[in-house]
Structures are given as structure tokens and as C-alpha cells.
Structure 1
Amino acid sequence: MAMTLGVDVSVKVKHNRPSCGAGHAGDDMRIGEFARRGGVSPRALRHYEQSGLLVARRTSSGYRDYDEDQLESLARIRVILDAGLGTAAARSYLDCVELRGGATRVHMCPQLLERVRALEQRIADNRARVQQQREAVTRFVAAADRD
């Protein structure tokens, strides 16, 4: 009985061209260069990969390789995380963030809006707690003996 074996072959071609610096369109970037260009730490990139937000190709030596297109994904991830929504929200709502010409547009579905409102409520609660603590510190200092 003859068996058929399906083989998927991927070939990476290196162009022989003068070195103009890493990260030009079409070039692969190692984690340090990608982190620098994306404004994050390599540790953050590893965390995003572990969280399922980014997928890095691996070289035969096991190094992570990123391409230019992934910089936009990273920027969209940062928009969500910088808003305080966390990696689970970034995984769920990454497609809701659009970057065009330096402008950010968020398509606010009902579920995302609910998460944003919950975050706003937590922020308001935290502000109230901070204000209460400030008042308590003020009372404490006012009650201090002044020798």
C-alpha cells in the first residue's frame, strides 16, 4: 500500500545587499531591534508572545524574528494595554483597534464598551480611596505634637 506524505517547506532567502541597518521593510528583526522600534522591552515582547498576542518566527537557532508588519500589531496592542485593559482584552479586541496615518480609531462594540466602563468605575473608586487617604494623612499631620 503506497503512502502519501504531505510536506510543507518554507524557504527564507537572504539578499546580498549592503548593510544599511536592521529593520528595513522586508527585513527580519531580532527581539532587541523589534523592541526598540516598538518602544517596549524585550521582556514585554516575551510576555505578549506568552499571552498569545504576538507570534514570533523562530530561527533555526531558536532566536525570535519579527517583521515590519508586526510593528503595527504591537502598536495596536499597546493602545489597549496603555488604556489599562490588560492582555485578555487585547486578545479579544485587538481587531477593534485601527491605526491610520498616525491616528487611532477604536470600533467600540458593546462588550468592549462594558469593559471600558468597568475600568472607568475602578479608576473612580481608586480616586475616591486616594482622596480619603489624603484627608486621613492631613488629619494625622494636623494632630501631631509640635515640640
Structure 2
Amino acid sequence: MQGFFYRYIRLYRPLVKKLNGLLGEYDLSYSLWQVIFYVRNFGPCTLVEICKYYEVERPNVTRMVHRLEEQGIVEQIPGKDRREKVIRMTERGENLYRQCRAEITGLEQQAMKGIPETEQEMVFELLPQIRDNLDHKGEETN
């Protein structure tokens, strides 16, 4: 199917723009939300874990974490290794996560309006498979 990536990018950019507008009311951006989402859903973690998950350079994640710390959303605590810092959510961060998550769920529902649930589920299942294929995890061996 030719044109899939074109269609995906035509969806991705307006989606991020809408998310940035929604999150901007909380002094956040989509990139900051990604860090919040990871820490909230995967528990206390290191910068390296976030970097690997999103395939982002460490200096970018470091800047985002510092900004979230300044806002009182996450905090760094000592890890097992003295050089390693573990990032965890604060109570303020948990409350903010719940507020933003509710609004993002509303946006998801608006975006999926009129699409049958079976088709929504199919897309939900297919996107990770496409990601795996791009990461060569889904390659068949000959």
C-alpha cells in the first residue's frame, strides 16, 4: 500500500498540534507529556530508560526532566549507583497526569468519532506491529 507514511504524517502533525494546544493550558507540551506518561505508567525510572523507550538523545530528556522538576511534576531520587538518578512522579504530577489524561481521552474520542469500535481496535493492534517491523523485530527469517 503506497502512501501509508504520507497519510500517517498527515495525521501525526495535526494531532501533536492539538495535543500541544491542550497541554499548553497546563504549561506542558507533547514532548514533556511523553516523559510524564512514561514515568507514570512504567514507574520510577532512569533517564536512560526514557531515552531508549522514545529513541531520544539524553540531553533532550535531561532538559525535559529538569523542566518537569522545576514545575514540581517529577523529582529525582538517588538510584542504586551514586551516578544514577531515578525519576518518579510527585503528588502534584499524579494530579496533573489525571487531569491531562482525561482531556487527552476526550481528544481521542473526538478523533475516533464515527469509526466502528472493531476498526479502532484493529488500528490499535496494527500500529505496534508496524513499529516492530520498522525496528526489524518483526522480520521473518529465511
* Fold equivalence (TM over 0.5): no
> Quick one: higher RCO (CA 8 Å, sep 6+), 1 or 2?
2
Q: Report the TM-score when normalising by structure 2.
A: 0.28
Q: Report the TM-score when normalising by structure 1.
A: 0.27
Give the greater-gyration-radius structure (CA).
1
| Bigger proportion of residues as helix | 2
